[in-house]
Amino acid sequence: MATFDRSILAYVPSLEAAHALVTNNPKFDSFLSEFQTVAAQHQKDDIYRVTLVHRHTEVALDHRIMDFKQTLQTFPLHDSAQDIHGYPIRPKSLVLHEGQWKPYEYEFGASDDSSDSTFLARVQEMIKHHGLEYVGLRRYSPTDPEELEITASGGISVKVPWNSLLETKFSYQQLVWAFPSGQPKNYRCSCRDTGSSTNPNHNHINQP
C-alpha cells in the first residue's frame, strides 16, 4: 500500500453527500450482491466490508485519523510513519481516487498487502463499472458488534454497540455493509459536524 497521501483527505465527502450518491444510484444493490460473491470467492469477506467514504473532522497537517477500536480520532503522525511507538499501523479505510486505492483512516495491525492485491483490483473494477465514486472498503473483524458511529463535534468519533432503542434517539445512515460468512451485518453512522461551513459536501482542508 502506498504511503499516506494526505491530499486524499480533501477528496473525502460529507456523510450526506456520500449517502446521496448511493441512494441515487440504482446499481448499488447489484454492486452489493456482486461484492458479497467476490469477497467470499477471495476469502476476504471476514476482512473487508463495503463502506460509505465520509469525512469525520478536520485533520491537522501533521496528524492522521486513527481507529482505536471504539473511537476514531486524529493522532500526530508523519505522513511517512508506519508505526506508533514501534507498533505497526495499517490502512483501515480505503477510497479509490485517480485509479488507485488510497488509505484515509488507519488502525493498529500488520499489513498484508500482497495477498489483498487481486481482490482490491477486482473491487476497483466493480466500483468503476457501477459508477460508485464514494464507495470504499474498510477492514473489520467478524466479531465486531453491529455499531452506531457517532461524531458530535471536537473531532472524536465513538462507536456504540447497536441497540434498536438508539433508532428513536438518533438520525443515522447505514454506513457499512458486511457479509461475514454470508451473514449480512450492518453498521450505522450518525455523524454531525462532518462538513465545513464553506463547503459542506466536499471539504477541502485549509480552505478559507
95 lies in the binding site for Zn ion (CB under 5 A):
no
- Amino acid at residue number 176: V
Q: How far is the CB of 98 from Zn ion (least distance, A)?
A: 24
Q: Point out which span in 29-37, 95-103, 124-132, 147-155 binds Zn ion (CB under 5 A).
A: 147-155
Contacts for 57 with CB less than 8 Å, ≥ 6 apart = 65, 74, 151, 154, 155, 156, 157, 193, 194
Q: Tell me which residues in 50-89 interact with Zn ion (CB under 5 A).
A: none
The nearest distance, CB 117 to Zn ion, in angstroms, is 27
Q: Which of 149, 176, 178, 179 binds Zn ion (CB under 5 A)?
A: 149
Q: Are 126 and 31 in contact (CB under 8 A)?
A: yes
Q: Which stretch binds Zn ion (CB under 5 A): 17-25, 35-43, 63-71, 188-196?
A: 188-196
Total residues in contact with Zn ion, by rule CB under 5 A: 3
Cβ distance to Zn ion smaller for residue 28 or 172: 172
Binding of Zn ion at residue 189 (CB under 5 A)?
yes
Q: Which residue of 17, 140, 191, 203 would you call a contact of Zn ion, by CB under 5 A?
A: 191
Stretch that binds Zn ion, among 17-25, 26-34, 121-129, 185-193 (CB under 5 A): 185-193
Closest distance between Zn ion and the C-beta of residue 8, in Å? Answer: 16
Q: Which range of residues in 4-12, 27-35, 101-109, 182-190 is near Zn ion by CB under 5 A?
A: 182-190
Closest distance to Zn ion from the beta carbon of 80 (Å)? 26
Q: Which residues form the interface with Zn ion (CB under 5 A)?
A: 149, 189, 191
